[in-house]
Amino acid sequence: LQAAVLSVNYRGSIGFGHDSIESLPGKIGANDVADIMTALAAVERSCNLPDDANNSQQLPSLDMRRVCVVGGSHGGFLAAHLVGQYPDVFKAACMRNPVTNIPAMVTCADIPDWCFVEACGIDAYDFSSSQVPSVEQLVAMQQCSPVRYIDRVMAPTLICLGAKDRRVPYSQGLEYFQLLKSRSV
């Protein structure tokens, strides 16, 4: 069994400093997904370079017909986005406690502030108060939720859930599973 692993330090990750982290709020499901697809395309190009003994960038052959995605929590969010936005690229997925439907999560998670900041681009986290999302905020949350693309998903998907996850309610994964099952995915 041959396999290759691509681990992307997408925008919003801590690897590129504070500016990178601040570039993601209001753009989740877009910028982070674009970074992964850019990295995947770069790997594909590197694998398809002509044979050249002087080419230090040459990577082993990669079968782009067998690409899968794996991720947990925000990585699960990205996995769900990728199989929905790029159904012809990703042939299988494995998600652990994925965020899949932000409007459904905002009122039952212990991190509603994450939903407002990351999906709506609100400037600061507020751990001391709670708010009911406006219609406009719910629409923004829906627009960046992977469930938005559920009708496009074709990849067999393994969803691993933990009832004790303190950030992502397991109902997120259950709902996504039911939606996939209803579509015979």
How do residues 58-90 score in pLDDT, each as one tens digit?
Answer: 566 778 889 999 999 999 999 999 999 999 999
Identity of the amino acid at 71: G
For residue 105, the model assigns a pLDDT of: 94
At how many degrees (to 10) do helices 31-47 and 74-85 cross? 70
How distant, in Å, are the alpha carbons of 100, 103, 116, 144, 148 from that of 140?
Answer: 14, 9, 9, 7, 11
Chain centroid to Cα 30, Å, comes to: 9
For residue 127, the model assigns a pLDDT of: 64
- Of the candidates 80, 59, 103, the one whose C-alpha atom is nearest the C-alpha of residue 158 is 80
Reading the block at residue 116, the tokens are 């407002």
Residue pointed to by tokens 């230090």: 56
- Band of the pLDDT at 109, cuts 50, 70, 90? confident
* 118 neighbors 164 (Cβ within 8 angstroms): no
- Band of the pLDDT at 136, cuts 50, 70, 90? very high
Q: How high is the mean pLDDT of the chain?
A: 88
For residue 146, the model assigns a pLDDT of: 98
Residue 51 pLDDT more than 70? no
pTM: 0.90
Residue pointed to by tokens 């939903």: 115
Reading the block at residue 55, the tokens are 């080419």
Distance CA 142, CA 138 (A): 6
Q: How many CB atoms lie within 10 A of CB 59?
A: 15
Q: What is the mean pLDDT of residues 13-18?
A: 76
Chain centroid to Cα 177, Å, comes to: 16
68 forms bridges with which residues in the sheet?
92
